[in-house]
Amino acid sequence: MRPTPQTEQELLSRAHELAGLSLGELAQEAGIITPPDLKRDKGWVGQLLEWHLGATAGSKPVPDFIELGIELKTIPIGYNGKPLETTFVCVAPLIGLQGLNWENSHIRHKLAKVLWIPVEGERDIVLADRRVGSPLLWSPSPDEEQRLRRDWEELMDMIVLGHVEKITARHGEILQLRPKAANSKALTEAYGADGQPIKTLPRGFYLKTHFTAELLERYFILQ
């Protein structure tokens, strides 16, 4: 991969240089073969951009740019300019929740500073021809953080009370809880309704598309 940027400015200017380029061009520069589609390579776009921007974390549970405290997220955009998919943030803790609060939560730290990179995502555009958009460095506004916190507390309350299996993707205004697993047979431990341990699907926190659409829109309005 390319060298790790040492400053926020350097990271941003490098991200701006990628705007307008196609994934095929970026893959060629990186010496990577572009897969026919993303069916078996769902994280390919994200990893390609990591390479070009010099992200360091790999699969470690830390921000992509440790020194800068910045998380990198690619986001697929449709013809209407809006996100085509929800955005996975992190896995939800289901046990050992004593002392856990919003302030010290994994998700708050993950979302503290995010470099969003929109990428054309319509499936009828050949993967190699999809273009990268302009980057957006975002931190939650006070209002956004409050909404995130409200949703997080509602969801975590249900988990603590042993109601994790009653939670659907409809809970939460901007944050949702959904399965995050290899398949439906991968189980992890959680609290049951009687406080007894149960086995259930691992869950992840995802940002709903209407929220990420707001972010991008707010940014473009400011341009």
Binding positions for DNA, rule: CB under 7 A: 37-43, 45-47, 49-50, 57-61, 64, 71-76, 78, 85-88, 90-91, 119, 121, 123, 168-170, 176, 178-189, 201-202, 204, 206, 208-210
CB of 134 to DNA, least distance (A): 16
CB 187 within 8 A of CB 214: no
CB neighbours of 109 closer than 8 A, spacing ≥ 6? none
Strand partners, 130: none
CB of 193 to DNA, least distance (A): 18
Longest dimension (CA), the chain: 56
153 or 173: whose CB is closer to DNA? 173
149 or 206: whose CB is closer to DNA? 206
CB of 197 to DNA, least distance (A): 12
CB of 40 to DNA, least distance (A): 4
Neighbours of 11 (CB within 10 A): 24
CA angle 215, 221, 223 (to 5 degrees): 110
17 or 189: whose CB is closer to DNA? 189
CB of 142 to DNA, least distance (A): 25
What is the SS3 string spanning 18-73? HCCCEHHHHHHHHCCCCCCCCCCCCCHHHHHHHHHHCCCCCCCCCCCECCCCEEEE
77 or 149: whose CB is closer to DNA? 77
16 or 123: whose CB is closer to DNA? 123
